[in-house]
Amino acid sequence: MKRRILLVDDDLAVLLTLKAVLELNGFEIETANSTAQAFSRLDSGVYQMVITDLRIETEDAGLEVIRAARRQSYDPATALLTAYPPTGEDWGEEHSQSLLVKPLGTRELVRQVEALLVRHEDEKQLRRRNGVSSAAIPRDANRKVG
C-alpha cells in the first residue's frame, strides 16, 4: 500500500517538482496550492503525512495547515517546508513540528520524509500502548530532521 502525502505549496514549480520526486519514490501524492484547498483535502481524504510550505498566502499560513492536519482524526505526520526556518523564543510548543529546510536534494528529501513517517508511527504506537490520546503527548518540539 502506498503511503499518501498531502503536499501544500503555492509555488507551482516547487509543488510539481516535489510531487514528481516523491511519486518516483513510491508515495501517493495529492497537492494543494492554497490553504483553502489544503483544508478541503484534509477533510475529504486520509493522509499518512502533510507537508506544507510555511509561507503560502501569508508569512505563517502553513502553520494553519499544520494545525488543521493535527485536528484530523486520522492523525497524520506533519512537516513544515521552508527556506526560512523560524528562530527565537516566539517559536514555541504550539508550533512544534518537523522542519524540512529548502533547498533539499532528492535523496535528502526522501530520507527525511521516511524518517518523519517512521518517527510518527513510533510515537502513535507508544501512545496506544500507554492508552494516551494523541493530544496528550506533544510531538517532538522544534526538531529538524537531520
**Other C-beta atoms within 10 Å of 39: how many?**
16
CATH number at residue 100: 3.40.50.2300
pLDDT digits (tens, 9 = 90+) for 79-130: 988 887 766 555 544 444 587 877 778 898 999 899 999 998 888 888 888 8
Question: Residue 132: what pLDDT?
Answer: 64
pTM score of the predicted model: 0.79
In a domain, 103, yes or no: yes
In a domain, 46, yes or no: yes
In a domain, 145, yes or no: no
Distance CA 6, CA 76 (A): 10
In a domain, 90, yes or no: yes
- On average, the pLDDT of the chain sits at 82
**Parallel, antiparallel or unpaired: strands 49-53 and 98-101:** unpaired
Q: Which residues contact 136 (CB under 8 A, 6 or more apart)?
A: 127
pLDDT digits (tens, 9 = 90+) for 105-119: 889 899 989 999 999
Domain that includes residue 64, residue range: 3-136
**Total domain count for the chain?**
1
In a domain, 144, yes or no: no
In a domain, 146, yes or no: no
